[in-house]
Structure 1
Amino acid sequence: MKDLIKAIDGLPKIVRFLGTLIWGILTNIYRLCRSIAKQDVLGVVLAIILLLCGGFFILWIIDLVCILLDKPIWWID
């Protein structure tokens, strides 16, 4: 999981932005991997609920703004 997190963090800003813009689930999978790597049960449960219920669209705009401002993806951990 940590390798996947480093790989996504290492992507150029434009690739992360386009990946989030076109395929919004990308950042939610990133959140899930971060929570699994930190063994955060609440984060894992919330990320799975967001994936199953389509709630990742709620955080989609926040993710795009965070990527444009070179901020880390917003999550509870």
Structure 2
Amino acid sequence: MGMVFCRGCGKEIHSTAVTCPQCGAPQGNVVPQSASSKRILPAFLLCFFLGCFGIHRFYVGKVGTGILQLITLGGFGIWALIDFIIILCGSFTDSDGNRITQWT
């Protein structure tokens, strides 16, 4: 861990700096959020066809909310519709909080 030059102003900064303390320019060394091993396509299809039963939530490991969706028929369809939209937007997460990013 040494020193590097800022991408914005050229000032010497520590290599682990997320932004330059002088100019505030982002340095591009932000640690990305880990991705899930689950895939979007199965979650999408399960939500589309069986969303009212919460099967897509069981697939990603969210058993507790899967049971709630099963009992309430997907929150009377509203909860399942919201999950469907979130899956399409790529913001759906698994039980560990990791974003599901890959389609296949």
Higher relative contact order (CA 8 A, sep 6+): 1
Q: Which has the higher helix share?
A: 1
TM-score when normalising by structure 1 = 0.48
Larger radius of gyration: 2
Q: Which has the higher strand share?
A: 2
TM-score when normalising by structure 2 = 0.39
